[in-house]
Structure 1
């Protein structure tokens, strides 16, 4: 992590991915191998609970797009690895999707000093994700 973080907006990132492309990668390299590469531990638990193949592919595609967009929004202040980011889609009646960046290099691991805002949409076999990164107001 960088020791110098400016306050305010760090960046905006966007990514689009075709679900069939993620499915092809997973079929070539193995679903578990791809999931272990791109998912946080929390996401792996959610992914393992899915039984429908299409939902599993879409789950991976959403996380791929969100994390690519997050990297673009955070760079160069931060360079997170895939597993350091956890995306939770809508859960609860009045909850928005959330994206959390955990600095696992810290001992013990801590939440990174940024706030991430994420928006994801999927339709017609595509997933698009937008992420806005801002410095934490506590800095």
Structure 2
């Protein structure tokens, strides 16, 4: 059952300028492995993390560096969540997070679907 949907769009040029002005943002937003990526890939990961927060219904208990976008062997992007962020995902009954990302024409976008295995009873 779908319990949340999130989407985000990032202007890659604007994102790059922000990172140039405030390099410490890289440490606040991305895992050490992610920080090695090109700016367009970081912009897509930023969009993915924003979309995840939207799909979760808010950022309470969520920490950016506890969300890492990791590719499967096939290249498909996947979230690896740890710490209190993993606790938030579990507490909300989310069992699967679906992620799609893309970057082209100066824009990066991400779409997230949060899914739960349990059906909520109507009250």
TM-score by length of 1: 0.70
> Match for 1:35 among 26, 40, 64?
26
> Match for 1:45 among 22, 33, 52?
33
Matches of 1:37 and 1:81, distance apart in 2: 9
In structure 2, list runs of 5 or more residues that go unmatched. Answer: 119-123
1:1-139 to structure 2, matched below 5 A, reads 8-30=1-23, 33-40=24-31, 44-48=32-36, 50=37, 56-76=38-58, 79-89=61-71, 91-92=72-73, 94-102=74-82, 104-105=83-84, 112-113=89-90, 114=94, 115-135=96-116
Q: May I ask how many residue pairs the two structures share in their alignment?
A: 114
RMSD: 2.5
Q: Assess, with a 3 A threshold, how the Cα gap between structure 1 residues 10 and 77 changes in structure 2: closer, same or farther.
A: farther
